[in-house]
Amino acid sequence: MKIRQYRDLFIKTLSPIHGEGEAESFFYLILEAKHQLKRIDLALRPDMHLTDAEILVWNILIEQLKLEIPIQYLLGKTSFYGLDFEVNSSVLIPRPETEELVEWILENQKPKVNIRKLRVLDIGTGSGCIAISLAKNISNAEVFAIDISQTAVSTAKKNAETNKVEVTFMTQDILQTDNLGQQFDVIVSNPPYVRNLEKQEIKKNVLDNEPHLALFVEDTDALIFYKKISELAQKNLAPNGQLFFEINQYLGKETIALLTEMGFKNIELRKDIYGNDRMIRATIQ
C-alpha cells in the first residue's frame, strides 16, 4: 500500500477519537520515528510503499492510539525546550507550560551567568526536563535533581547522557527531608498539584496512563509540596536566592499567601500561554 493511501486511512480511523488535526500530527510523528521520513519526503515521493510488515507495526500503533495511550509513550520520546527526551509511564510527559517556566528561570539568571557559578536544584525532576534544559543553557551551572521514583531517576540520567550535560541526580522523598545539606541559588519544582476533585477535568489519555504519583494531591492538603519545599528553601537558598514553582491554576492566590506568610519577598505570579495562572517566583532574603 502507498504511504499516502495509508495516511488517509490512518487519519480517518483516528479522527473520531482525537480530531483530524491531531490524528494527522500523529501520522507524521510516527513516519519520522519509524521511517526517518518527514512530511516533505512524502510530498516529493508520493509513490512510496509500506511493506506488509510495516503496515502491521502501524496497525498496532493505531489500536494503541484508539485506547488513547499518549503518542509520546508509544514512541518512547518527546521534545522539550529544543532537546530530545526519553519518556515512559514512570514519568510525566513534559508540557509546553513547563518550557515557559524554564525560559523564565533562564531570563532571571542571565545577568548572573558570568559573575559566578550557579547552583540549581530541581525537586521532583521526573524525566529531568527542567534540570537538563537548565544545565544545557547555563554554562556555569552546577545542577542537582531529586525524585522519589528510582525509575524516574534512571530515565532522567539517560536523558542527561543523551543531551550531554552533567546533572547530579538523587532518589529522595522530599516530604521526608529536613535539610538539603547545601545552599542553592535557584530551587525549582513542578510538584504534584492536581486535586482529586479536579480529576474530571483531566483528559482520559493522561488519567489512564501518566503516573498519578506525579500528578495528584489530596483535596484537604493541596499545597503540601509547596509548603515543604518552601520550608527547605528557607534553609537552603543562598541570600537573594530564587524559588520557582509551577502551580495549580486554581490555587495562585493561595500559593502566594503561603509564600508571603513564610516570609518570601518579590513574589510574582505569571500566566501560561493558555492564560492560566501557572508559575510563581519568590526571593529569600
Query: CATH code at 266?
Result: 3.40.50.150
Four-point Cα dihedral 25, 29, 32, 38, nearest 10: 20
283 close to 242: Cβ distance less than 8 angstroms = yes
281's torsion region: left (phi>0), alpha (psi -120 to 50) or beta?
Answer: beta
Same domain, yes or no, for 62 and 100? no
Residues 22 and 155 placed together within one structural domain of the fold: no
| Strand 194-195 to 265-271 pairing | unpaired
Asked if residue 140 and residue 203 are part of one domain, the reply reads yes
| Same domain (yes/no): 131, 217 | yes
Residues 14 and 123 in one domain: no
Range of the domain at 178: 78-283
C-alpha cell at 45: 515521493
83 lies in the same domain as 58: no
CA distances from 2 to 5, 36, 47, 65 (A): 5, 16, 6, 21
- Say whether both 148 and 252 belong to one domain: yes
Q: Based on the domain organization, do 170 and 218 belong to the same domain?
A: yes
Instruction: Give the count of domains, the chain.
Output: 2
> Contact, 82 vs 38, CB < 8 A?
no
Q: Are residues 149 and 269 in the same domain?
A: yes
The verdict on 194 and 55 lying in the same domain is no
**Are 63 and 132 part of one and the same domain?**
no
SS3 label, residue 143: strand
User: Tell me, what's the pLDDT at 110?
Assistant: 77
What pLDDT sits at residue 43?
87
Contact by Cβ (8 Å): 221, 81: no
Spatial separation of the C-alpha atoms in residues 52 and 1, rounded to whole Å = 8
Phi, psi of 72 (to 5 degrees): -65, -40
pLDDT tens, residue order, the chain (285 aa): 999 999 999 999 999 999 999 999 999 999 999 999 999 998 888 889 999 999 999 999 999 999 999 999 999 999 999 999 999 999 999 999 999 999 999 998 877 666 678 999 999 999 999 999 999 999 889 999 999 999 999 999 999 999 999 999 999 999 999 999 999 999 999 999 999 999 999 988 899 999 999 999 999 999 999 999 999 999 999 998 999 999 999 999 999 999 999 999 999 999 999 999 999 999 987
Residues 120, 194, single domain; the answer is yes
Spatial neighbors of 77 by CB under 8 A, at least 6 apart, are 33, 84, 85, 86, 87
Greatest CA separation for the chain: 66
